[in-house]
């Protein structure tokens, strides 16, 4: 029997045939091959050249990275206890390999020799960048540490990877486990029809009578937003906000062993220790080495200044909401479980449309047509359905071709929420672009994963799934990452597409795409009412635009609290002199300084802050805001062009954007790419203007 994790070569694996028992033998084999390549690279007779040193290593480690990536992907979208166990079993060995590679002093010397050789000057820009990045990563990976320090450094990496996995498992378990059953239909008042139908299906699938609500976002959020039942909102909110904490069993169905409080402190201690070993003052300072921002205080200042500018707008939003809740909803004191509901009611009154009404205009297939249309017009490519091997029946695959009909890239779309699939939305790299030694191009492949509500069947009729405008924005966002990955023209794996792009600039192409979701020209083509087929009425669009920055002051403050908490946990916070509860205290202190409303007493939001404790965004959450400055300013170039050409889908500007931002990927610094596209340094004005914070 062939092992599907070993037999796909440069192609794509047969996902459906991958079983948990394939993981260990495949990964052990690939580790062996990779180690052999490392050993060969270190032989005295192996020359410090691209051909002899870099390329064979890239081949071997790419195979390992791709197989391991496939397993990680399946672990995220089709989790089973067996798969999780096999993944967890191999994780330490894989982590150990990468960390030993990063610390390999002999290999570091070989790379250094290459960087100082005459051959280096003959390499192309992308290849030079790969070597420079490697040297930097070697240093960050501990290559210059003493032999006494190295074992400890490796232990830190293992332990961090284990803790991150544990953190994320706890969040998933705490989210999966909770079910709230409603038996009396009167308790469903205010909820949209599809949320009720989904709750019915959930109950049926669990062999329960009634309507079952869970903490998965598509089940949880409609309750918070629409349910008139304050008790129901409170119950779900309290369970949601205490997930993976010591309060999880009191307010939900949590178990004490899923409490992430200690896990967080342990992670912060390890990160701080790692940073100090490498000669940095703290982890935030270390994290800046591969970023566009220069210093810890520059980022802190950026967030604080932003907070000051947003605060008056947040204060105004908060006063509006309180006033409205008191006079129109008879809610004297707004509780956290009232916020989304009161906001939605206020929005409906002020702009007289509901998210649910709007949602009827966004059937998923129509949204995809609209999205693909934009990409085709702006970037001169064609997108068509394809039939690649897949891991679930609901997954769709597509191919992207250029004007000559040549294949540029492929992508997968895994649209719907289901049990065993991690929540949220993301783009991941299934295969990177690379020009192989024989001159053939290995085209990039992307995974686009979302958690939209699946199609519902009522009385034997399947209704097209519709998604909220927020979901549309999410879809565009992830697709923006996908375009960065897929439209690259760089042929060197380490800097093609999103590879090697500075962390705080990586959200430029994704947030850039979100802007199109607010254009009348785009929305006309992208909407069709799920029952009547009518496009979005202009009147509704105008209300939507009027409501676009509705409560953006509060929303911005919330994001800034997340960003600053992350930043300070990794800089000013001293994890060695702190107790686990101090993390929560710091988040409260920052909240009180930045935000205009207090954090709920029982809120344990840091315990599910997977971005920084399990998603690799430690000391990096600020990058969303940082990159928003870049993306808003880049989009402003299209607005300027539209004033002349009459269309926001200006192909000339699109072509320049494609060439200067998307195609170059990580092969040159983001600051330079931005300047090449815009002709000047980034400015914050467009962001404040777009967000109603000017």
Q: Which residues have a Cβ under 8 Å from the Cβ of 243 and sit 6 or more positions away? A: 171, 174, 175, 178, 215, 252, 254, 258, 604, 607, 608
Task: Give how far the C-alpha of residue 246 lies from the chain's centroid of Cα atoms, to the nearest Å.
Answer: 27
Q: How far is the CB of 490 from Zn ion (least distance, A)?
A: 20
Q: Give the dihedral sign, CA 59/61/62/66.
A: positive
Closest CA to 411 of 423, 398, 396: 398
Q: Give CA angle at 615 (572, 579), nearest 5°.
A: 40
Closest CA to 83 of 34, 140, 15: 15
DSSP-assigned states of every residue in 399-442 = EEE-TTS-EEEEEEEEEE--TTS-SS-EEEEEE--EE-TTS-EE
Q: Which is nearer to Zn ion, 474 or 607 (CB)?
A: 474
Q: Which is nearer to Zn ion, 90 or 505 (CB)?
A: 505
**Tokens linked to 570:** 């990794």
Q: How far is the CB of 510 from Zn ion (least distance, A)?
A: 4
Q: Where are the beta strands (DSSP E) in 170-328?
A: 180-182, 211-213
Q: How far is the CB of 480 from Zn ion (least distance, A)?
A: 8
Q: Which is nearer to Zn ion, 272 or 507 (CB)?
A: 507
Judged by CB under 5 A, the stretch of 32-40, 90-98, 505-513, 575-583 that binds Zn ion is 505-513
**Tokens linked to 303:** 């967030």
Q: Which residues have a Cβ under 8 Å from the Cβ of 45 and sit 6 or more positions away? A: none
Beta partners for 445?
A: 410, 431
Q: Which is nearer to Zn ion, 370 or 480 (CB)?
A: 480
**Which residue of the set 478, 519, 660, 663 is catalytic?**
478
CA gyration radius for the chain? 25
User: What spatial distance separates the first Cα and last Cα of the chain, rounded to whole Å?
Assistant: 64
Q: Which is nearer to Zn ion, 90 or 627 (CB)?
A: 627
Number of chain positions touching Zn ion (CB under 5 A): 2
Q: How far is the CB of 383 from Zn ion (least distance, A)?
A: 20
Q: Is 207 a catalytic residue?
A: no
Q: Which is nearer to Zn ion, 64 or 292 (CB)?
A: 292
Which helix (H) or strand (E) segment holds residue 8: the answer is none
Q: Which is nearer to Zn ion, 134 or 510 (CB)?
A: 510
> Would you give the DSSP letter of residue 495?
G
* Subset of 354-383 contacting Zn ion (CB under 5 A): none
Q: How far is the CB of 616 from Zn ion (least distance, A)?
A: 12
Judged by CB under 5 A, the stretch of 340-348, 363-371, 507-515, 606-614 that binds Zn ion is 507-515
Q: Which residues have a Cβ under 8 Å from the Cβ of 579 and sit 6 or more positions away? A: 265
Task: State the Cα torsion 454-460-461-465 to the nearest 10°.
Answer: 0
Q: Which is nearer to Zn ion, 166 or 507 (CB)?
A: 507
Q: How far is the CB of 495 from Zn ion (least distance, A)?
A: 19
Beta partners for 211?
A: 182
Q: Which residue has the tokens 């320090």?
A: 149
Q: How far is the CB of 639 from Zn ion (least distance, A)?
A: 22
Q: Which residue lies nearest Zn ion, judged by its C-beta?
A: 510
**Contact flag: residue 510 with Zn ion (CB under 5 A):** yes
Is the separation of the CB atoms in 595 and 601 below 8 Å?
no
**Contact flag: residue 623 with Zn ion (CB under 5 A):** no
> Would you give the DSSP letter of residue 575?
G
Q: How far is the CB of 204 from Zn ion (least distance, A)?
A: 35
Q: Which is nearer to Zn ion, 266 or 507 (CB)?
A: 507
**Tokens linked to 458:** 């009522």
d(CA 45, CA 111) in angstroms, rounded, equals: 14
**Contact flag: residue 571 with Zn ion (CB under 5 A):** no
Judged by CB under 5 A, the stretch of 112-120, 139-147, 409-417, 509-517 that binds Zn ion is 509-517
Q: How far is the CB of 618 from Zn ion (least distance, A)?
A: 16
Is the separation of the CB atoms in 502 and 444 below 8 Å?
no
DSSP β-ladder status, 445-452 and 407-416: parallel
Q: Which residues are catalytic?
A: 478
Contacting positions for Zn ion (CB under 5 A): 507, 510
């Amino acid at each position: 029997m062939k092992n599907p994790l070993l037999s796909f070569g440069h192609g794509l694996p047969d996902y459906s045939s991958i079983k948990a028992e394939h993981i260990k033998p495949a990964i052990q084999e690939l580790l062996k091959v990779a180690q052999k390549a490392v050993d060969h690279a270190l032989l005295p007779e192996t020359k410090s050249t691209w051909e002899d040193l870099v390329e064979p290593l890239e081949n071997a480690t790419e195979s390992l990275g791709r197989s391991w990536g496939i397993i990680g992907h399946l672990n995220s979208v089709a989790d089973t206890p067996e798969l999780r166990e096999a993944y967890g079993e191999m994780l330490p060995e894989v982590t150990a390999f990468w960390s030993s590679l990063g610390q390999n002093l002999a290999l570091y010397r070989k790379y250094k020799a290459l960087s100082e050789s005459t051959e280096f000057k003959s390499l192309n820009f992308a290849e030079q960048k790969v070597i420079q990045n490697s040297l930097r990563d070697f240093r960050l990976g501990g290559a210059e540490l003493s032999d006494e320090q190295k074992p400890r450094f490796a232990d830190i990496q293992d332990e961090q990877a284990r803790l991150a996995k544990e953190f994320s498992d706890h969040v998933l378990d705490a989210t999966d486990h909770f079910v709230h059953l409603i038996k009396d239909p009167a308790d469903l008042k205010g909820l949209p029809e599809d949320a009720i139908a989904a709750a019915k299906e959930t109950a049926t699938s669990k062999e329960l009578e009634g309507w079952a609500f869970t903490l998965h976002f598509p089940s949880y959020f409609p309750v918070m937003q629409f349910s008139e039942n304050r008790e129901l909102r409170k119950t779900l909110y309290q369970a949601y906000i205490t997930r993976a904490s010591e309060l999880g069993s009191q307010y939900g169905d949590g178990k004490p062993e899923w409490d992430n409080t200690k896990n967080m402190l342990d992670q912060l201690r390890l990160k701080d220790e790692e940073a100090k070993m490498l000669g940095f003052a703290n982890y935030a300072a270390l994290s800046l080495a591969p970023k566009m921002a220069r210093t810890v205080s520059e980022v802190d200042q950026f967030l604080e200044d932003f907070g000051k500018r947003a605060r008056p707008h947040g204060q105004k939003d908060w006063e509006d909401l309180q006033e409205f809740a008191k006079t129109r909803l008879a809610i004297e004191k707004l509780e956290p479980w009232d916020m989304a509901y009161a906001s939605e009611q206020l929005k409906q009154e002020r702009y007289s449309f509901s998210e649910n009404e709007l949602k009827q205009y966004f059937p998923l297939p129509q949204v995809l047509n609209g999205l693909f249309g934009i990409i085709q017009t702006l970037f001169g490519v064609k997108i068509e359905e394809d039939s690649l091997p897949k891991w679930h029946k609901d997954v769709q695959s597509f191919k992207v071709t250029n004007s000559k009909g040549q294949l540029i890239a492929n992508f997968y779309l895994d649209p719907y929420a289901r049990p065993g699939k991690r929540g949220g939305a993301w783009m991941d790299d299934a295969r990177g672009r690379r020009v192989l030694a024989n001159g053939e191009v290995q085209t990039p492949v992307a995974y686009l994963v979302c958690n939209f509500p699946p199609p519902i069947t009522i009385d034997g009729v399947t209704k097209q799934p519709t998604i909220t405008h927020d979901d549309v924005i999410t879809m565009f966002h992830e697709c923006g990452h996908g375009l960065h990955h897929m439209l690259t023209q760089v042929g060197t794996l380490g800097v093609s597409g999103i590879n090697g792009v500075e962390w705080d600039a990586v959200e430029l192409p994704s947030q850039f795409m979100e802007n199109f979701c607010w254009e009348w020209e785009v929305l006309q083509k992208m909407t069709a009412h799920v029952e009547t087929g009518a496009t979005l009425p202009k009147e509704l669009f105008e209300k939507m635009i009027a409501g676009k920055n509705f409560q953006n002051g509060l929303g911005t403050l919330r994001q800034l609290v997340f960003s600053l908490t992350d930043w300070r946990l990794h800089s000013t916070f001293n994890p060695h002199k702190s107790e686990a509860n101090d993390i929560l205290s710091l988040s409260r202190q920052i909240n009180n300084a930045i935000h205009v409303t207090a954090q709920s007493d029982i809120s344990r939001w840091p315990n599910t802050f997977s971005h920084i404790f399990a998603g690799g965004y430690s000391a990096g959450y600020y990058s969303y805001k940082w990159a928003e400055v870049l993306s808003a300013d880049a989009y402003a170039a299209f607005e300027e062009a539209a004033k002349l050409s009459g269309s926001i889908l200006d192909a000339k500007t699109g072509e320049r954007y494609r060439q200067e931002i998307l195609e170059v990927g990580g092969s040159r610094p983001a600051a330079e790419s931005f300047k090449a596209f815009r002709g000047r340094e980034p400015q914050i004005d467009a962001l404040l203007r777009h967000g109603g914070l000017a």
